[in-house]
């Protein structure tokens, strides 16, 4: 059985009476081409089942700088947690990996999760392993702590980070829109009649998001009521977090809590507050919280796809190392209707 011939840019160009360069530019949505030409080329490419040869096109663009390698089209999703599966155990990480893998396949890449501590490797040795395999594109998974280090030989690699590591903020970063997410949670709670809304955040997560949740919540409180009625935000650290949260609940008596701390529900139960009857609860990341909670669904699959999109562009421009000016992509979350807030009452006649 013979293998059907592969469709190339030349085939598309011949069918449309265009140059190969014009077809290539159209498939990359080049701004210099009319939208009608771009659409015509993409329709023809789809009809001919064209699949981009990522390795070949990148090598052709940069053949003076690169050696041909068997694994050129591999993207490495790099994690640096204490064990190989620490990060991947999280549902949000699994969603992100799935989204990145699907988008990588669409471009013609093979995405592989690599653990930077495999066999006790140092960052220098891990850099050499990546280079020896011809891997130039890296997606850096969230680091365990905000100030964690992974000092690879960054000048060798095109790199995109998930979230914005404190020490590596000048790589293109893809992260949730933290400010929009906490604002959306407050809007949905107020729609359900909650008026005394507090915020509880784990200390390391507050630092990881550069305190954007706290700042936005404080601003929203200033807009919706007098400063004297504002409930102070609780940043949880140290031992016995549930006891700390319980004391805060008894003192300030919120009727709802926006949270990125998985101890809130246990603390509420300990002080005899029933959720959602006595206390509403909205998580800022329902994927990694208790099943069934209401709150913000972070679209980690979309984040994974966006990371591959950004990395694809860096590879084709042969951009390695950090940017001179920090830049990134934010992904808004959506409200997820769970069982921990009051149901929204329908208006009469609706």
* Token output for 121: 């490797």
Q: Are residues 213 and 252 located together in one domain of the fold? A: yes
Q: Are residues 214 and 273 located together in one domain of the fold? A: yes
Q: Are residues 110 and 185 located together in one domain of the fold? A: no
Q: Are residues 207 and 286 located together in one domain of the fold? A: yes
* CA pair distance 108, 15, nearest whole angstrom: 23
End-to-end CA, the chain: 62
| Per-residue model confidence (pLDDT) at position 4 | 57
Residue 162 has what DSSP assignment?
A: E
- pLDDT by residue (tens digit) across 279-309? 999 999 999 999 999 999 999 999 999 999 9
Q: Residue 256 in contact with residue 340, Cβ under 8 Å?
A: no
* Token output for 219: 């601003």
Picking from 283, 298, 313, the residue at the C-terminal end of a domain is: 298
Q: Are residues 190 and 244 located together in one domain of the fold? A: yes
Q: Are residues 211 and 129 located together in one domain of the fold? A: no
Place of tokens 């041909």: 68
pLDDT surpasses 60 at 348 = no
| Per-residue model confidence (pLDDT) at position 38 | 87
Q: Determine which of 125-129, 223-227, 300-304 has the lowest per-residue pLDDT on average.
A: 223-227
Three-class SS state of 99: helix
- pLDDT by residue (tens digit) across 86-116? 999 999 999 999 999 999 999 999 999 999 9
In this structure, are strands 158-162 and 137-140 parallel, antiparallel, or unpaired? parallel
Q: Are residues 170 and 318 located together in one domain of the fold? A: yes
Has residue 59 been placed in a domain?
no
* CA pair distance 308, 19, nearest whole angstrom: 28
| Per-residue model confidence (pLDDT) at position 62 | 44
Q: Range of 313's domain?
A: 74-175+300-331
Edge-to-edge strand order for the sheet containing 294-297? 234-236, 197-202, 256-260, 280-283, 294-297, 334-336
* CA pair distance 99, 295, nearest whole angstrom: 21
pTM: 0.77
- Per-chain mean pLDDT for the chain: 89
What's the length of the chain?
350
Q: The domain that contains 155 carries what CATH number?
A: 3.40.50.2300
For residue 66, name the pLDDT band (cuts at 50, 70, 90): very low
Tally of structural domains, the chain: 3
Has residue 57 been placed in a domain?
no
Q: Are residues 306 and 263 located together in one domain of the fold? A: no
Q: Are residues 183 and 292 located together in one domain of the fold? A: yes
Has residue 347 been placed in a domain?
no
Adjacent-strand bridge partners of 125:
none
- pLDDT by residue (tens digit) across 145-201? 989 999 999 999 999 999 999 999 999 999 999 999 999 999 999 999 999 999 999
| Per-residue model confidence (pLDDT) at position 35 | 81
| Per-residue model confidence (pLDDT) at position 103 | 96
Query: Phi/psi at 8 (nearest 5 deg)?
Result: -115, 170
Q: Are residues 89 and 236 located together in one domain of the fold? A: no
Picking from 251, 274, 298, the residue at the C-terminal end of a domain is: 298
pLDDT surpasses 50 at 67 = no
Q: Are residues 111 and 89 located together in one domain of the fold? A: yes
| Per-residue model confidence (pLDDT) at position 50 | 87
Has residue 138 been placed in a domain?
yes
Distance from the Cα of residue 203 to its chain's centroid: 20
Query: Phi/psi at 155 (nearest 5 deg)?
Result: -65, -15
Q: Are residues 159 and 223 located together in one domain of the fold? A: no
- Residue with the larger pLDDT of the pair 175 and 57: 175
């Amino acid at each position: 059985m013979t293998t059907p011939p592969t469709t190339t840019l030349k085939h598309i160009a011949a069918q449309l009476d265009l140059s190969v360069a014009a077809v290539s530019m159209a498939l990359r949505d080049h701004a210099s081409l009319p939208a009608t030409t771009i659409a015509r080329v993409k329709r023809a490419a789809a009809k001919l089942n064209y699949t981009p040869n990522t390795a070949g096109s990148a090598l052709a663009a940069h053949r003076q700088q690169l050696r041909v390698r068997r694994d050129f089209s591999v993207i490495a999703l790099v994690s640096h947690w204490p064990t190989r599966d620490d990060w991947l155990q999280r549902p949000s990480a699994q969603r992100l990996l799935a989204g990145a893998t699907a988008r990588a396949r669409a471009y013609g890449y093979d995405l592989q999760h690599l653990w930077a501590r495999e066999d006790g490797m140092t960052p220098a040795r891990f850099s050499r392993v990546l280079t020896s395999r011809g891997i130039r594109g890296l997606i850096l998974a969230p680091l365990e702590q905000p100030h964690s280090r992974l000092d690879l030989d960054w000048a060798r690699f095109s790199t995109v980070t998930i979230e914005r590591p404190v020490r590596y903020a000048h790589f293109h970063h893809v992260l949730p829109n933290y400010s929009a997410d906490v604002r959306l949670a407050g809007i949905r709670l107020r729609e359900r009649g909650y008026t005394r809304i507090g915020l509880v955040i784990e200390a390391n997560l507050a630092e990881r998001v550069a305190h954007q949740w706290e700042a936005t919540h404080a601003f929203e409180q200033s807009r919706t009521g007098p400063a004297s009625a504002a409930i102070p935000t609780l940043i949880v650290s140290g031992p016995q977090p549930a006891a700390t949260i319980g004391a805060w609940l008894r003192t300030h008596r919120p009727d709802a809590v926006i949270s990125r701390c998985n101890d809130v529900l246990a603390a509420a139960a300990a002080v005899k507050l029933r959720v959602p009857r006595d206390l509403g609860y909205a998580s800022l990341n329902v994927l990694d919280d208790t099943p069934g909670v209401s709150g913000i669904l972070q679209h980690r699959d979309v984040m994974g796809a966006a990371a591959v999109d950004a990395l694809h562009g860096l590879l084709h421009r042969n951009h390695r190392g950090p940017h001179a000016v920090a830049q990134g992509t934010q992904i808004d979350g959506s409200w997820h209707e769970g069982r921990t807030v009051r149901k929204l009452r329908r208006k009469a006649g609706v």
